[in-house]
C-alpha cells in the first residue's frame, strides 16, 4: 500500500470516527417550526413565536361526542376531575362554573377592574340611580340568584364585569358543562404546564387525557359510545412527530431495501454491494455531523432526506463499478470518469448551495447536509473505494439487457420530434392552467393533514377562540405603556362595536394599567364622603342603610389597595386569557386585541391611526404576504442555483454549445415535470420548487455522462447501464418519500422522482446526436 | 269518515279525562288544554334588606305551548318574555338580555314553575321540582320543591294556588326568609 493510500484510509477512518462522535452529542429535534421560516418582522415574529411557545401553544382542545348530552356531561365532568388532579396541567376548563379563584379575583378587585368606576358613579345622584336599579332587580324573578350582591356591590360592578366577559365568551352550558352544537359535543380546554414544543411532555399530557377518558368510558353509563377528539398545537406536534418517524422509517426502509436488492441483482456480489454503500454512509455521517456543528441541532426531516442522498451518492459508486472493465480496473476507470464525476458533483453542490440561503432553517440544514455529504461521498469514491476494491475486480458482469439498452439509447434521438411535441403539449397545459399555479394557503405547507386542520378550526370555533383573522397589535417597551396603548385602542374600538366589528377582547380588560387603576381609585370618594352620598341616595328608597356597610368597607379597601399585578391572577382562568393577549418577548411588550367579525377594516384602521405603536393586522393578508415572500425567495434561489450551474458548465466547457447540450434536456424535463405536477388544476408548493432545483442538480449528472461518455461498444453499454441504475436508485429513493403525507416530503420526493427520470430520458434523446 | 273518527277519539279523550278521579294528571291535562290566558297581577316582595315590602303591578299573558310574558306597569315599566328556551327582556340598568334556559339551569328552575304549570307540562315540572298537590278541582294548592341542590339553597318552594284552570296566587319562598307573593286576577275572555 502506498503512503498516499494509507493516508487516504487514515483520514477516512478518522473522519468517520469524528463524525460519529459529533452525531452522538448533537441534539435531534422534530420541531416543525424549523420548516416555518424565520420571520423578518418583529410583529410577525411575535405571531410565529406565539404559535411556537406562547400560551396558545399549551392549549389542548378536547371534545366529547357520540352520546346524549347527559352522558357527554358525565364523561366531561369525570375526565375534568381526573385531569385536575394530574400533574400535567395548569388549568382544566369544562364549563363547570367560574372557578373559585376567578370569582375571588373579580369580586375582590371589582373597583379596579370595572370600567363603570367613575366619579359620577359615587355621587348621591349616581348611587340613587344604581339603588333604583337594585330595587327593580329585587322584584324581578331572578332576585333569589342575584340579590346577594346588592349590599356589598350596589353599583353592580361585578355583574357588569362578568356580563362583559360572558358576552365575549358566549358559552353554551348544557347539563352543567360546556357544550357546543346543541349539546351534541361537550368541550374541555386543558392548559399544559409544559410548552407546546416540548413534544415528550405533550405526548405525556395526551396520554393522561386518553387514560382519563378510557376510565370515564368504563364508569359512565353509555360511555362506550362516546368519542374523544383532541386538537391543539401540542397534539399536532405529537402527531407530526409520530407521522414523521413512521414515514421516514417506513419509506427509507422501503427505498433502502429496494436499492439494495436492485444492486444485489445487478452486481450479484454482496461485497460489491457493501462497497457501493461505503461512500453513501460516509457522506451521510459527515453530513449529519456537519449540520450538528453548524446549527447546534439536527432536524428529523434532515435525516429523513438522508435517504434521498442515497439516491444521489450511490450513483458515484455505481458509475465507478458499473463502468469498470478488466482492462483498466477501478483506478483506470476512475481516471477516465473522474473529470465528469467531479464536474457532476460540483454542479450538484451548486444546486444544493442555493438552499443554504433559505429562510427555512430546515432547508438550510438540508443544504449543508447534502453539500458535505456529496463532497465526502465523492471523495471517498475517488480515494478510498479503489483501495477497498479487490485487486481482481473486473467490473460488473455485463447485464443481459445492456446491448438492448444501448441500442435503445442510440435510437433515442429519433424520438426528438415526439419529445418536442410532448414539451409543446406540456407548455400548452401549463398555459391553460386555470387560476393560480401556486398554492396560496400557508396551511398547505403545514405537516398537519387537512382533516386535522379542519377539526382544529371546528373546535376552535366551538370554544369561541377568536377565529383570528383580524387582530390589533400594540407594541411598547414596558408593560405599563403597552397596557395604556391597549386601553386607548379599546376606547377607539368600543364605539365601532356593532358597526365595523361585532366585538373584541383586550388584555387591559383583565389587568388594567396602573394609571387606569389609579384613576379608578381616585374616582372613589373617601369613606365619610361616600357614606354621606349613600345616605342621601337612600332617601325615598325602602333599603335598610346598614345593608350597605360591606360596600363602604370594600370601596375604602379598594381605594387604599396596591395596584393589581399579574401575580394577583395566578391560578385563575382569567390569567389564561391575559397571558395569551399580553406577551413579553426580548424586552418588547406586545398586546394583542383579537377582533370578531370585522366588516369594515378601513374604519378600524382610521380609528387607530393616531395611536403610535398600535396597528391592525389582517392575518390573512399577513400570511399571504409571508407565503408570497417565501415563494419569491424559493424562485430566486432556484433561478440563482440554475444560473450558477449554467455558469459553472460554461466555465468548465469554455463553450456555449456543450453547455446548452447539458442544459437543454434539463429545461425540457423541468417543463414536463411542471406540467405533470400541475395536471388537473393542481397547484405548486414551495417544496415543489425546491424539488425542481434538485432535479437540475441531480439530472445534470446524467446529461454530463451522456455528453462526455462514449456510447459505443462495451464501454457504451456499461455507461448506459450505470446511468439507468443510478437513476432508478434516485427515483426509488425520492419516489418512496412522495408516498408520505407530510407536504415537504411529498413535494420534494415526487418532484425529484418525476424530474430526474424525465431528465434521463430527455438527455438520451437530445444529447447523443448533439455530441456526435 | 276519517274526520268523524278523529272527533270521536277527541271526545272520548275529553270524556275519560273528565271521568277520571281528580288529581295531578287531570289538573295537568286540563291546564294543557288551555290555549291562551291573560291576567293582571299584584306582586309584593318581602325582603330582609327592605324596610317595607315593595309592590308592583302588571299583566301576565300565556300562549300555548311555551310563551309567557310578564309585563310590569308600576312602579317601573319592564317586560320579560319567556318563549320556549329563551328568556329575554331588559335588565334594571337598561341592558337588554337574552339567555337560554338550557345554558342556565338555575334560571330555568325559577321560571319553569309558573310556565310549566300553566302549560300543564308535568314532564318539565318533574325535571325541576318535587310536586305535591292538595285540595280539589276548585281550590287546589301546588307545592314545587326544587330538585337541584344549588337552587334549593336559594329557594325553599314555589307555591301555586288555583281554581279550575286558573292560577290565583303564586308565592316564592326563599331560603333566607325573603318571599314574594303574587295575586293573579284572570281577565275574563
Map out the domains of chain B with their CATH numbers. 2-186 (2.50.20.10)
Rounded CA-CA distance A594/A617 in Å is 10
Quote the minimal CA–CA distance from B11 to chain A in Å: 38
Query: SS3 for A97?
Result: coil
- The pLDDT value given to residue A208: 95
Nearest CA in chain B to A180: B103
Residue of B77, B92, B97 best to disrupt the A interface, most CBs of A under 10 A? B92
- The pLDDT value given to residue A394: 60
Nearest CA in chain B to A95: B103
Nearest CA in chain A to B47: A138
Rounded CA-CA distance A370/A290 in Å is 10
Quote the minimal CA–CA distance from A109 to chain B in Å: 21
Residue of B68, B91, B149 best to disrupt the A interface, most CBs of A under 10 A? B91
- Contacts B174 to A, Cβ<8 Å: 143-144
Q: Within an 8 Å CB–CB cutoff, is residue B83 touching chain A?
A: no
- Contacts A140 to B, Cβ<8 Å: 78, 80, 92
Nearest CB to A173; choose among B104, B154, B155: B104
Q: Within an 8 Å CB–CB cutoff, is residue B45 touching chain A?
A: yes
The interface predicted TM-score (ipTM) is 0.81
| Beta-bridge partners for B136 | B139
Query: SS3 for B124?
Result: helix
Residue ranges covered by each domain of chain A: 1-30+269-397
Contacts of B122 (CB under 8 A, 6+ apart): B24, B25, B28, B116, B131
Strand B54-63 versus strand A59-65 pairing type: unpaired
Nearest CA in chain B to A132: B92
Residue with cell 456537519: A290
- The pLDDT value given to residue A46: 56
Rounded CA-CA distance B106/A187 in Å is 21
| Beta-bridge partners for B60 | B39, B70
- Single pTM value for the model: 0.66
Query: SS3 for A604?
Result: helix
- The pLDDT value given to residue A473: 86
Contact assignment for A144 to B105 by CB distance below 8 Å: no
Size of interface A-B (CB pairs under 8 A): 82
Contact assignment for B47 to A147 by CB distance below 8 Å: yes
Quote the minimal CA–CA distance from A174 to chain B in Å: 5
Strand A172-174 versus strand A185-192 pairing type: unpaired
Residue of A97, A133, A141 best to disrupt the B interface, most CBs of B under 10 A? A141
Residue of A139, A151, A167 best to disrupt the B interface, most CBs of B under 10 A? A139
Rounded CA-CA distance A202/A224 in Å is 25
- The pLDDT value given to residue A443: 66
Nearest CA in chain A to B177: A144
Average pLDDT per block of 10 residues along chain A, 772 residues long:
81 92 82 54 56 67 91 92 89 77 87 89 90 84 80 87 68 80 88 79 92 93 91 82 80 84 83 86 91 86 65 79 74 84 88 83 84 91 86 66 84 88 91 78 70 81 66 88 94 88 86 93 91 90 89 91 88 80 81 83 88 80 74 87 90 89 92 90 83 87 82 80 85 86 83 93 76 42
Nearest CB to B45; choose among A138, A150, A547: A138
Name the grid cell of A669. 424535463
* Touching A: B residues 91-150, CB under 8 Å: 91-93, 95, 100, 102-107, 110-111
Contact assignment for A136 to B76 by CB distance below 8 Å: yes
Rounded CA-CA distance A389/A458 in Å is 61
- Contacts B172 to A, Cβ<8 Å: 141, 144
- The pLDDT value given to residue A617: 78
- The pLDDT value given to residue A619: 67
Specify the CATH superfamily of domain A1-30+269-397.
Multidrug efflux transporter AcrB transmembrane domain (1.20.1640.10)
Rounded CA-CA distance A181/A171 in Å is 11
Residue (of A765, A577, A536) closest to A666 by Cα position: A765
- The pLDDT value given to residue A49: 59
Contact assignment for B178 to A141 by CB distance below 8 Å: no
Quote the minimal CA–CA distance from A129 to chain B in Å: 9
- Contacts A542 to B, Cβ<8 Å: 50-52, 54
Quote the minimal CA–CA distance from B22 to chain A in Å: 31
From first to last of the 189 residues of chain B, give the pLDDT tens digit.
Answer: 344 444 444 444 444 445 568 888 889 998 899 899 899 999 999 988 899 998 999 999 999 888 999 998 888 888 889 988 888 887 666 677 777 777 677 788 888 888 999 888 888 889 889 999 998 888 999 999 998 888 888 899 999 999 988 889 999 999 988 999 999 998 875
Rounded CA-CA distance A251/A584 in Å is 42
Burial A504-522 (b: 16+ CB within 10 A, else e): bbbbbbbbbbbebbeebbe
Q: CB–CB of A310/A259 below 8 Å?
A: yes
Residue (of A307, A446, A321) closest to A369 by Cα position: A307
- The pLDDT value given to residue A772: 43
Nearest CA in chain B to A149: B49
Quote the minimal CA–CA distance from A130 to chain B in Å: 8
Contact assignment for B102 to A141 by CB distance below 8 Å: no
Contact assignment for A137 to B104 by CB distance below 8 Å: no
- The pLDDT value given to residue B17: 46
Name the grid cell of A113. 377592574
Name the grid cell of A66. 357520540
- DSSP class of A382: I
Contact assignment for A547 to B180 by CB distance below 8 Å: no
Residue of A73, A95, A98, A135 best to disrupt the B interface, most CBs of B under 10 A? A135
Contact assignment for A145 to B107 by CB distance below 8 Å: yes
The number of angstroms, rounded, from the C-alpha of A456 to the middle of its chain's C-alpha atoms is 14
- The pLDDT value given to residue A769: 45
Amino acid at each position: 500500500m502506498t503512503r498516499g493510500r494509507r493516508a487516504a484510509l487514515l483520514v477516512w477512518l478518522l473522519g468517520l470516527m469524528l463524525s460519529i462522535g459529533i452525531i452522538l452529542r448533537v441534539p435531534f429535534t422534530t420541531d416543525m417550526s424549523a420548516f416555518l421560516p424565520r420571520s423578518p418582522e418583529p410583529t410577525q415574529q411575535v405571531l410565529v413565536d406565539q404559535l411556537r411557545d406562547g400560551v396558545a401553544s399549551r392549549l389542548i382542545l378536547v371534545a366529547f361526542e357520540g352520546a346524549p348530552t347527559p352522558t357527554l356531561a358525565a364523561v366531561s365532568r369525570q375526565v375534568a376531575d381526573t385531569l385536575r388532579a394530574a400533574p400535567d396541567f395548569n388549568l382544566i376548563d369544562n364549563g363547570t362554573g367560574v372557578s373559585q379563584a376567578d370569582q375571588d379575583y373579580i369580586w375582590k378587585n371589582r373597583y379596579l377592574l370595572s370600567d363603570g368606576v367613575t366619579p359620577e358613579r359615587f355621587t348621591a345622584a349616581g348611587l340613587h340611580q344604581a339603588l333604583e336599579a337594585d330595587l327593580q332587580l329585587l322584584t324581578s324573578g331572578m332576585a333569589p340568584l342575584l340579590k346577594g350582591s346588592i349590599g356589598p356591590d350596589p353599583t353592580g360592578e361585578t355583574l357588569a364585569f362578568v356580563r362583559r366577559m360572558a358576552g365575549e365568551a358566549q358559552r353554551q352550558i348544557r347539563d352543567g358543562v360546556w357544550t357546543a352544537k346543541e349539546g351534541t359535543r361537550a368541550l374541555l380546554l386543558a392548559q399544559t404546564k409544559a410548552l407546546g414544543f416540548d413534544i415528550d411532555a405533550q405526548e405525556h399530557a395526551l396520554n393522561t387525557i386518553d387514560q382519563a377518558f378510557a376510565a370515564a368510558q368504563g364508569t359512565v353509563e353509555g360511555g362506550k359510545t362516546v368519542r374523544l377528539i383532541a386538537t391543539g398545537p401540542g397534539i399536532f406536534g405529537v402527531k407530526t412527530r409520530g407521522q414523521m418517524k413512521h414515514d421516514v422509517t417506513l419509506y427509507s426502509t422501503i427505498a433502502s431495501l429496494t436499492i439494495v436488492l436492485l444492486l444485489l441483482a445487478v452486481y450479484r456480489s454482496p461485497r460489491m454491494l457493501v462497497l457501493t454503500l461505503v461512500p453513501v454512509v460516509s457522506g451521510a455521517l459527515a453530513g449529519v455531523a456537519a449540520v450538528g456543528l453548524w446549527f447546534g441541532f439536527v432536524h428529523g426531516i434532515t435525516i429523513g432526506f438522508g435517504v434521498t442522498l442515497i439516491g444521489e451518492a450511490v450513483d458515484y459508486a455505481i458509475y465507478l463499478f458499473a463502468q469498470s472493465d478488466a482492462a483498466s480496473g477501478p483506478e483506470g476507470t476512475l481516471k477516465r470518469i473522474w473529470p465528469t464525476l467531479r464536474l457532476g458533483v460540483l454542479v450538484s453542490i451548486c444546486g444544493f448551495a442555493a438552499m443554504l440561503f433559505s429562510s427555512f432553517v430546515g432547508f438550510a440544514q438540508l443544504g449543508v447536509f447534502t453539500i458535505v455529504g456529496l463532497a465526502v461521498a465523492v471523495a471517498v469514491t475517488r480515494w478510498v473505494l479503489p483501495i477497498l476494491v479487490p485487486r481482481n475486480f473486473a467490473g460488473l458482469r455485463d447485464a443481459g439487457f445492456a446491448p438492448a439498452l444501448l441500442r435503445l439509447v442510440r435510437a433515442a434521438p429519433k424520438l426528438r420530434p415526439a419529445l418536442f411535441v410532448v414539451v409543446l403539449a406540456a407548455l400548452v397545459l401549463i398555459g391553460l392552467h386555470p387560476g393560480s399555479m401556486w398554492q396560496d394557503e400557508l396551511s398547505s405547507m403545514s405537516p398537519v393533514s387537512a382533516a386535522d386542520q379542519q377539526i382544529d378550526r371546528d373546535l376552535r370555533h366551538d370554544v369561541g377562540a377568536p377565529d383570528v383573522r383580524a387582530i390589533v397589535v400594540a407594541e411598547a417597551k414596558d408593560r405599563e405603556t403597552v397596557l395604556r396603548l391597549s386601553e386607548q385602542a379599546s376606547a377607539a374600538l368600543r364605539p365601532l362595536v356593532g358597526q365595523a366589528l361585532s366585538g373584541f377582547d383586550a388584555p387591559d380588560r383583565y389587568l388594567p394599567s396602573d394609571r387606569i387603576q389609579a384613576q379608578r381609585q381616585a374616582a372613589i370618594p373617601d369613606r365619610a364622603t361616600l357614606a354621606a352620598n349613600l345616605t342621601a341616595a337612600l332617601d325615598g328608597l325602602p333599603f335598610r342603610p346598614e345593608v350597605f356597610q360591606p360596600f363602604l368597607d370594600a370601596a375604602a379597601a379598594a381605594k387604599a389597595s396596591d395596584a393589581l399585578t399579574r401575580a394577583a391572577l395566578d391560578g385563575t382562568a382569567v390569567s389564561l386569557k391575559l397571558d395569551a393577549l399580553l406577551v413579553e418577548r426580548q424586552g418588547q411588550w406586545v398586546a394583542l386585541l383579537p377582533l370578531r367579525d370585522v366588516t369594515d377594516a378601513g374604519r378600524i384602521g382610521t380609528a387607530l391611526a393616531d395611536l403610535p405603536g398600535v396597528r391592525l393586522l389582517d392575518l390573512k393578508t399577513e400570511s399571504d404576504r409571508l407565503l408570497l415572500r417565501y415563494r419569491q425567495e424559493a424562485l430566486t434561489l432556484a433561478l440563482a442555483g440554475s444560473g450558477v450551474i449554467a455558469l459553472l458548465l460554461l466555465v468548465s466547457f469554455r463553450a456555449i454549445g456543450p453547455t446548452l447540450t447539458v442544459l437543454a434536456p434539463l429545461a425540457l424535463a423541468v417543463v414536463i415535470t411542471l406540467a405533470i405536477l400541475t395536471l388537473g388544476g393542481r397547484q405548486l408548493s414551495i417544496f415543489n420548487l425546491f424539488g425542481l432545483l434538485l432535479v437540475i442538480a441531480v439530472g445534470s449528472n446524467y446529461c454530463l455522462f451522456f455528453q462526455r461518455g462514449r456510447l459505443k461498444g462495451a464501454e457504451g453499454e456499461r455507461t448506459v447501464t450505470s446511468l439507468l441504475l443510478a437513476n432508478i436508485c434516485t427515483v426509488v429513493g425520492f419516489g418512496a418519500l412522495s408516498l408520505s403525507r407530510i407536504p415537504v416530503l411529498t413535494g420534494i420526493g415526487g418532484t425529484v422522482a418525476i424530474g430526474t427520470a424525465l431528465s434521463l430520458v430527455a438527455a438520451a434523446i437530445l444529447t447523443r446526436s448533439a455530441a456526435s | 269518515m276519517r274526520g268523524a273518527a278523529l272527533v270521536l277519539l277527541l271526545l272520548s279523550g275529553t270524556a275519560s279525562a273528565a271521568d277520571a278521579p281528580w288529581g295531578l294528571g287531570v289538573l295537568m291535562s286540563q291546564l294543557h288544554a288551555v290555549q291562551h290566558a291573560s291576567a293582571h297581577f299584584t306582586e309584593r316582595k318581602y325582603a330582609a334588606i327592605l324596610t317595607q315590602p315593595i309592590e308592583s303591578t302588571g299583566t301576565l299573558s300565556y300562549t300555548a305551548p311555551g310563551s309567557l310574558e310578564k309585563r310590569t306597569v308600576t312602579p317601573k315599566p319592564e317586560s320579560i318574555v319567556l318563549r320556549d328556551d329563551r328568556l329575554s327582556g331588559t335588565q334594571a340598568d337598561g341592558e337588554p338580555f337574552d339567555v337560554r334556559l338550557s345554558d342556565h339551569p338555575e334560571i330555568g328552575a325559577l321560571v319553569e314553575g309558573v310556565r310549566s304549570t300553566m302549560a300543564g307540562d308535568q314532564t318539565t315540572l318533574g325535571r325541576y321540582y318535587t310536586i305535591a298537590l292538595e285540595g280539589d278541582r276548585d281550590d287546589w294548592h301546588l307545592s314545587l320543591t326544587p330538585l337541584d341542590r344549588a337552587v334549593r339553597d336559594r329557594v325553599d318552594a314555589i307555591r301555586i294556588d288555583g281554581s279550575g284552570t286558573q292560577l290565583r296566587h303564586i308565592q316564592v319562598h326563599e331560603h333566607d326568609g325573603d318571599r314574594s307573593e303574587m295575586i293573579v286576577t284572570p281577565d275574563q275572555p
